[in-house]
Every structure is written in structure tokens, then in C-alpha cells.
Structure 1
Amino acid sequence: MTTAPPAPARRSDRLSDNPDLRNLFTAAAAAKLGAHLSYVAVPLVAIEVLGASAGEVGALAALAVAADLLFGLPAGAWVDRVRKRRLMVAADLARAALLLSVPVAWWLDALTIWQLFAAVFLAGLGTTVFEIAQQSLLPAIVDRDRLTGANGRLVALDSALTIGGRGVAGFVVALAGAPLAVLGNAIGYAWSALFVRRIGDEPAPARTRPRAADLTEGARHVWRHPALRALALSGAANNCAIQLFLTMLPLVWLDAGLSPAGLGVMLAVGGAGSLAGAAAARRLRARLGTGRSLWMIGAFAALPALCLPLTGIGMWTWAAGAAWALVGASVGVANVVGMSLRQQLTPDALLGRMNAAFRFAFMGAVALGASAAAVVGEFASPRAAIAVGAAGMAVQWTITFAARRSLTVPSGSLVE
């Protein structure tokens, strides 16, 4: 009499049951906490230490994501052919060294805007590689029918750290100066590398010969699938609009005589909204369906988003803060539901290239938004750039609304 082999262990989305997911989560916490510190501090280094103009602040924001435009698609093809864990460790260590150079140069009184540009651009390249690899590694350590829960935890983590990290960054900048806050980013990346190394080896990637078509295969997969195409277009539109707001926010805030600590709180408010959206995403998807959960929260935040240009105008700043929280909630829902749907609609062999195609679209839109902010901020005003971004946030949800019938989850791919 023979016995059936035991069923393979399920790779849970619970941190307590899945040590690899726990290590990935801890690494993400360390890296993202540092990144949120730097998110507030780097523009303030440019403005307060180096006296940067609105155009230079916009250029700095564009350079932070320019690597996605230049190297995003080749990085996706590369990620599909190598062990992702090792690549993530190398990217973490490179980013740590680059960010460490900023406070060291400041301490030596040798920091220039060109060094800041270079450090931000090259660290952005490391982030491109790291995040494509992380998104592609997740289905190897969590069952596909558990991806919504795992993505929800990672998005909630990012949102929680946006609240804490950016809020704390404002106070760190106020107390110790912006360059020392950038040091926290370097330390975060170093800690992240330690925990990524503890993740078990993933299955060996396919050893196929590289082809020129590999660079665009992920983009073709996204464009030809109506659901993926709608997710890419709506996310890109929202990213562009949000970046117009975020790029000019420090200038508007400081010009109004408000403190760096208050700027950190304003940014943290958006993180609070994103955390709430991520926490509610799974229930919203179960109650409303995938399509409606993606467009309805965006529609709900549309009119409040038009209050964002009131930032820094007396008590209207409170209304702008509330609007920013609602925009953050819509982003939290879209990140969890959209990311899970993307992973479920893509075969393993294309995950890296699919994620690279989305990152190319999303970060390209961020670069476009930052560049537009630099132009509008320089030739009109920073507040005018925020108004343009607010208008974009108010209408981007119409893209997923138009494609709502195609935004469905494959049968049996989710566990409620």
C-alpha cells in the first residue's frame, strides 16, 4: 500500500507563519523608514543649505526617478534572469554608500548641488532594481491566493512609516539639520541588506538567452491586457498629478512662513490616509469587487483634492491637509488591489518585466510631474503648479471607471 505524498506547505501571508515574508517585511521597514526621512530632508538640503531655485528643486525630484525611464525596462529583463535576493542586497549597499556621501560632504563643507543631483540619481537607480526585484520575489515566498494580504501588509507598512518617518523627519531637520536626516536613510539601507540576506533562496531563474525583445515584452503584456493597461494609465496619471503637488509643497510651505516640522506633519497626513486605505482595501474589494474598489475611492477623493492649492493660506491649510489624507486613502486602496491584480494576471516568467513596465510608467509619470512642476513653478508660481496637480488628481479615476468591466480577478485566485 502506498501513501500519497504530503501536500506542499502553504506559503502564508501572515508574518508569524512565514519567516521569509517576515524578513522581507523587516527589510522593507528599515529601508522605507530611512527613505521617508530623506524624502523630507533632501529637498531641504537643496533649499536651505545650497540655496536651490524652484527649477533646481524640480530637477532634483525628476532625477530621483529618471533611472526608471533610462534603465527600468532593461532592469526588468535582468531581474527575470538572476536570483533576486542577491540583487536586492547589492542595491541596498550601493544606496547606503551614495546617501552617506551627502552628510560627509556637507561636514567637509564640500557639498554641491551637482553632487546632490548625482547621489539622488544613482540611488534612484538602486531603488529601481531593488523594488522590481522585491515585487517579483514576493510570489515566490507567498502563495498567489494570499498576495492581497501580503501586499496589504507591505503597503500598510509604507503608509505607517510615511506617517512616522516623514513626521519625525520634520523634527529631525528642525533639531539637527537636513544633512543628518539624510544619514538616517543610509543607515536604513544598510539594515535592509542584513535582513534581505536572511531570506531563503528562491527557485533558480530560467537560463534563457537574452533577446532584444525581452526589453519590451513586459510592456507588450501590459498594453495588450485591458485591465493591466487601465491600471498603468490611471496610476501614471495620478503619480504625475501628485508629484506636481509634492515637488512644490516645500517651497509653498516655507514661503508661507511655516516650519519644517509642520511640513513633516503635512506629508505624514497623506501617509495616514494611505494606511487607512491599505487596511480597508481587502474588505472594499470583497464588498465592491475589484473594478469598483479601484475607481470609487478615487471618485470620492476627487472634489476634496481641489482644496490642495489652499495649502499655506491661513486656516485653509487644515482643509488642504484633510484633502491630502483622502487622496492618500485612494492611493492606499489602488496600491493593494492593483498590485495584487497585476501579480495574479502575469505568469512567473514575466513578473520582473511586468513590474518593470509598470515602474517605467509610474516613475516616468513622476519624472514628468516633477519636470512640469519645475517649469510651472519657475515661470508661473509654485502654487500654480500645485493647482495643476490638484486638477489631475480630481479626474484620474475616470480611467479605471471606463475600464471597470475588465478589472476582474481570475476565478479562485483569492482567499477571502
Structure 2
Amino acid sequence: MVNFTTLKRTAKYLIVLIILTHFCTNGYSLQLSDQAEISLLTCSPGTELYSIFGHSAIRVWDPVLGIDYVYNYGVFDFNTPNFYMKFVKGKLLYQIDRTSFNFFVYGYIQEDRSVYQQILILSKKEKEQIFSALETNYLPQNRYYLYDFFYNNCCTKIIDLLESQVKDKNWFLHLDNPANMTFRQNITVYLSSIEWAKFGIDLIMGLPADKKMSVRESMFLPDNLMNNLNSNSSKLAGNIVTLFKGSNIPPKRNMANPNRIMWLISITIILATLIIKSKKTIIFIDKTIFLTTGLFGIFFLILWLGTDHESLKYNLNLLWAIPSNIVFAFRRKLKNNRMNKYYFLGYGIFLLFIIIFWKAIPQEFNKAAIPIILLLSFRSFVLFRQVEKTARHIN
């Protein structure tokens, strides 16, 4: 005999299970009230290198439901196994984080960094879709993603989200227009007062950083995203409102900037090699110069071939920091004097061509590299003459 009470109870359990499964796989399906707002939060640059470009996040506020969340795509875990290796190789997973609005803003107040808000112009349905998408992204199985500085970061994630959920596409039509600036030129604005960081970034970033950006690509930076949201005739956001105004005092410029230091080092070494009579000292100096630049060349090559960071590929700094310099740093151990002679001659001439055609090279080199290249060229010509004299003496 069928027990209908048991069947009813089983049916109820099944219905609850189906609903829970739906929520777990599709995120929350809460209905927002008519007073709900979704905003873009933009945080001004900080003093640390990782925060120097600012930050962007999404706020979902519904006073009726008591919701005031901030969704932040810029979080990573320092405790990740092999953290630095994964970061260099472009394998480090970033994630979306959800926190309370007050807690989020308090952190930036503590750092004395400005926080701006723009309320997005959305329909009720679009707000609910964006909220649902954010909650879905926040699920443990969805929250991680591979970070890319130019193409997949806290800002580009927001643009992708808005484009997928906003019905009116008129605002997005201008995003493919040219921005008339390269990636490298744009980030230089933020690095002007920390020139050693700029020097390092210019050394490791390759040719992709010198690509002319579209408007869409320019919004990899928080300030560009904020300014573009209401710059078009078809606005996607309201006016910029300051929630907290930090002092925003830029760091003082360091007098010992890389350009001055590199010129000082290069001129000192050139004069020293002309004055010093000790052959052992000069040999040590040459070994140090060529070994160092060769090691940098290998480093650039590893970043090019061994990482997924698009901006580190095709690095033309390899034109002057050639890995083969490591071999020729120990030239006296090589028996083939002809190879030594033509290497130093060819390398010295090639370096002069780099200086002559500096502006024509498609990758923008840091000007602090000029004295290094001139030093390498000078020592290459000197070594060419020495090898040539040695060969004549042997003959």
C-alpha cells in the first residue's frame, strides 16, 4: 500500500533540493528594490608600487534589503604556494572578493587615498542581472581568474561585466576608437615621480606596451575607466561624487634618478679604463659589464618565452643586452681570436646604430639606457683593438 504522507514528504525534499541546487549553480536570484543603486568606485593611486595605478570596484546598495556590498576583482593570496614563481610566469590566480562598503572605504581612508563614486544609469532589470552576475562570479568555483596587467584586471573585468549585462549598447560604440596613446605612455604618467620603478618597468616591458590603445584598452587604468563612463553623449554613469578626499601628495622626486646614476657610472668607468694601468682591474671591469648585461639579456628572454604576461614579450632591450655577452665576458679563455674580434666590432657598431636610430625603434627605451649602451659600445671598440693587436703580435 502506498504511503501518501511519505510521498508528500519526499516530494517536498526534492523541491527544496532542486531550489538549493539552482541557487548554488546560478548564484543568488534576489529581487532588488526600486531604491537599489549600482555604482563604480574609483580609488586614487597609493604610494606603494602595487597601488600606484589606483583601483576600481563595484558597489551594490539596496537600503530596503540592507545590502551594501563592494565587489573587488583585485585580490590575490600572498600565501599561494610558489607565489613569486607563479607571478613571474603569469600563472598567479587573482580573485573577486566581496566585502562591506564601510570596511572597503575605511581601508582607503587609512591609506589617505581618495574614493570616488559614480552611480551607473541602469534599469531595474539590469541592476538585478549585474548583481546576480557578481554573486555568481563570487562563488568559490568561479571567483578565480588569470590576471593580465593590460587585458584582464580589476577594470577590464568591470567593463566586460557591464557590456554583457547592459541592454543599450550605444555607450559601447565608441570604445573601439583610438585613444592616441600607448600603454607605456599612459602608465608613465603615474611613474613620473618614482623613476627607478619606471626604469625597471621599461626594461622588462616589451613591444606590446608600445601599442596604440583603443578607448576600451585604455580603461585598464581606473582613472580612465572613471573618466570615460560619463564622457560620451550616451552616458553610462552619473557625475563623479567624492566620498573621501585624500591628500594625494605625490612622492618627492629622487635626485639620484636612474638617468643621472647611469651617466655617472658610465663616464666613471670610461675614464677609469683610460687612466688605470692595471690590466687585471680593467679585465675585471669588462667582465662585470658584459656579464651583467648578458645576465639581464637572459632575464628578458625568460620573461619573453617563459611567462604568459603579454606585456613582457618581444622585448627589444635584447638588442643591446645580448645574452651572448656572458660568453664573451670571458673572452681571454676563447682561443678563436677572430671570433672575438668580429664579435666586439659588430656589437660596438650595432650599439651605435641603436643610438643613431633611437627614435625609429618601435619600442620606447628608457633614456637611462643611453649611457649604458654608449659604455658597451666604447668598451667593445677598445676590446676589438686589443684582440686585433694580440692577433698581430701572435702572427
Asked whether the two chains share a fold, i.e. TM above 0.5, the reply is no
Greater relative contact order, per chain length (Cα 8 Å cut-off, separation 6+)? 1
**Class of the TM-score when normalised by the shorter of the 2 chains:** under 0.3
Q: Give the strand-richer structure, 1 or 2.
A: 2
User: Rg larger in 1 or in 2?
Assistant: 2
Give the structure with the higher percent helix. 1
